[in-house]
Amino acid sequence: MLGARQASALPREVILTTAHRRKLPIGIQTFADIREDGYYYVDKTLHIHRLIEAGKYYFLSRPRRFGKSLLVDTLRCLFEGREALFEGLYIHDKWDWQIRHPVVRLSFAGGHLGTRDALDQRIRDLLHQNRERLGIRLSRETDIPGEFEELIQQAHAQHGQRVVVLIDEYDKPLLDNITDVGRASALRDGLRNLYSVLKDADPHLCFCLLTGVSKFSKVSLFSGLNNLNDVTLDAPYATICGYTDEDLDTVFAPELPGLDRAEIRRWYNGYRWGGQDVTAVYNPFDVLLLLQKRQFGPYWFESATPTFLVDLLRQRGLYTPRLEQWETEPELLSRFDVDEIATEGLLFQSGYLTIKQAEEPMTGYRLYTLGFPNQEVETSLNQALLPSLGVENAPRHRKTLFTHLRANDLAGLETHLKAFYAGLPHDWYRNNPIAKYEGHYASVFYSHFAALGVDVTVEDASNTGKVDMTVDFGGHLYLFEFKVVEQVPEGKALQQLKDQGYADKYRAQGKPIHLIGVEFSREKRQIVAFDTEVA
């Protein structure tokens, strides 16, 4: 039985269609299985039709578990002319089903390839599988580019139609070895050896799509394939992968009763490719597991968060509150190579940050503001980062923090936070580069709160300035200002909150507002002042 609040939050069509339930396609990446075996399917063929009509060579980057493999398999079925699978979908009456193209599909999604020899063997095996499926025999012994070239040419000649090339997870061998520059460089050369064939194969190709997590430099990986159109940030394709709010409220309507719709949005929605005006999407993996398990959890984050990401952020001394509002240029989001990985590019491409705002302050010069896409990522990434900030036994600290916030116990909160900082290992300061940064104290503070999953905003702007951190929890608002006493005289943190009138912005909410000035000592490695006042 739905509670009154939950029921009223659901659209009428959601409540009326609860009887028409289908199977949840968890882990299903085969288009035919979804269409033939009674699974829910979100129709992406409008985007596919637009893509095919607009060009020939494409690249698309999306984070892991976002439906790239299903997209590739849908394209395969379409070009192979499997009409029955597309009945009732957008593209069905817009496609010439009499024409069937030979499809070459290569996927590097499976397994771990740690050497160039292993990669070359996998490539040869994939080419052999495609030859067998297309009924083509290799006419001579040759190298990998020769095999790929002959496969494309013979497929064109034998089937009488130009070839479709689909490459899924094109970059996985590189990402699996990205922390070993020598090994990754050797694998990059092996992949370049394969992909370089596509440039001269143009007369034999009808359509080509490469998908992956990261956009590696064209110069380093594609060797002159300059006509590869990167549609990753193009607004018309912002929702080509992932689920929209409309998808949840229509396709998955029978599964929604009993779940808090607003919380689903807060926890899992928010990925944007192309700016703040494009439609935000959900990671399908999160949505499907939520609908199955009926409880909220960090399903995507826990599925395979790379340890090298956390290690890299630790090595670079990242100021974690910056993750909430990171200004960057578009070029930095795609600057990714074996020996040059921009931090913002890595976080964006892997799905831990998304575009919150896009602006063009002058013609041809664009700026993006990045931030966490949703509550799942903010909470989970900060939990993962706490050990790299010197915090041990984070779950115990998180429970204590929750206890004091729930009781609005500011004295207990002060005691907890001082014990929290006192618990940072002394040796950690000598051996960890983050400790050299003044922002380390605020990073620990922010990540501790963010890891709890409360509503945290950093540098919340008002007409008088920006408060360092705002926490909205349990019907109370907490405004924090941070100072380092070696830089600013003691007592200035709380005074700034009062002098700037930071509380004025929040008074209309009708919640109690607590001003908290937190002052750190670099020498003592501790909070030396925790001044509070009700605004």
Per-residue pLDDT of the chain (535 residues; tens, 9 = 90+): 333 333 334 454 444 444 489 999 999 999 999 999 999 999 999 999 999 999 999 999 999 999 999 999 999 999 999 999 999 999 999 999 999 999 999 999 988 899 999 999 999 999 999 999 999 998 888 999 999 999 999 999 999 999 999 999 998 998 888 888 899 999 999 998 999 899 899 999 999 999 998 877 655 666 666 678 999 999 999 999 999 999 999 999 999 999 999 999 999 999 999 877 899 999 999 999 999 999 999 999 998 766 778 888 877 778 888 888 898 988 788 767 777 778 888 899 889 999 999 888 888 888 899 999 999 999 999 999 888 888 888 888 999 999 999 999 999 999 999 999 888 776 555 555 555 555 788 888 999 999 999 999 988 766 556 788 999 999 999 999 998 888 777 778 899 999 999 999 999 999 999 999 999 888 888 899 999 999 8
pLDDT of residue 216: 72
Q: What is the C-alpha to C-alpha distance for residues 314 and 440, in angstroms, rounded to an integer?
A: 11
Angle between helices 181-195 and 144-159 in degrees, nearest 10? 30
Beta bridge partners of 249: none
Instruction: Look up residue 299 and give its amino acid.
Output: Y
pLDDT of residue 529: 93
Please give the sequence-ordered ranges of beta strands (E in DSSP) within 417-512, or none if there are none.
455-462, 465-473, 476-484
The SS3 of residue 362 is strand
Q: What is the C-alpha to C-alpha distance for residues 219 and 114, in angstroms, rounded to an integer?
A: 23
pLDDT of residue 439: 74
Beta bridge partners of 11: none
pLDDT of residue 431: 57
Q: What is the C-alpha to C-alpha distance for residues 183 and 177, in angstroms, rounded to an integer?
A: 7
pLDDT of residue 312: 80
pLDDT of residue 435: 53
**Strands of the 163-168 sheet, one edge to the other:** 103-107, 163-168, 205-212, 57-61, 229-230
The pTM (predicted TM-score) of the whole model is 0.89
Beta bridge partners of 472: 455, 477
Q: What is the C-alpha to C-alpha distance for residues 534 and 285, in angstroms, rounded to an integer?
A: 43
Q: Are 79 and 206 in contact (CB under 8 A)?
A: yes
Q: What is the C-alpha to C-alpha distance for residues 386 and 447, in angstroms, rounded to an integer?
A: 7
Q: What is the C-alpha to C-alpha distance for residues 498 and 514, in angstroms, rounded to an integer?
A: 11
pLDDT of residue 276: 78
pLDDT of residue 365: 87
Q: How many residues does the chain have?
A: 535
Q: What is the C-alpha to C-alpha distance for residues 198 and 165, in angstroms, rounded to an integer?
A: 9
Beta-carbon neighbour count of residue 430 at 10 Å? 8
The pairing of strands 365-371 and 354-362 is antiparallel
pLDDT of residue 394: 82
Instruction: Look up residue 115 and give its amino acid.
Output: T
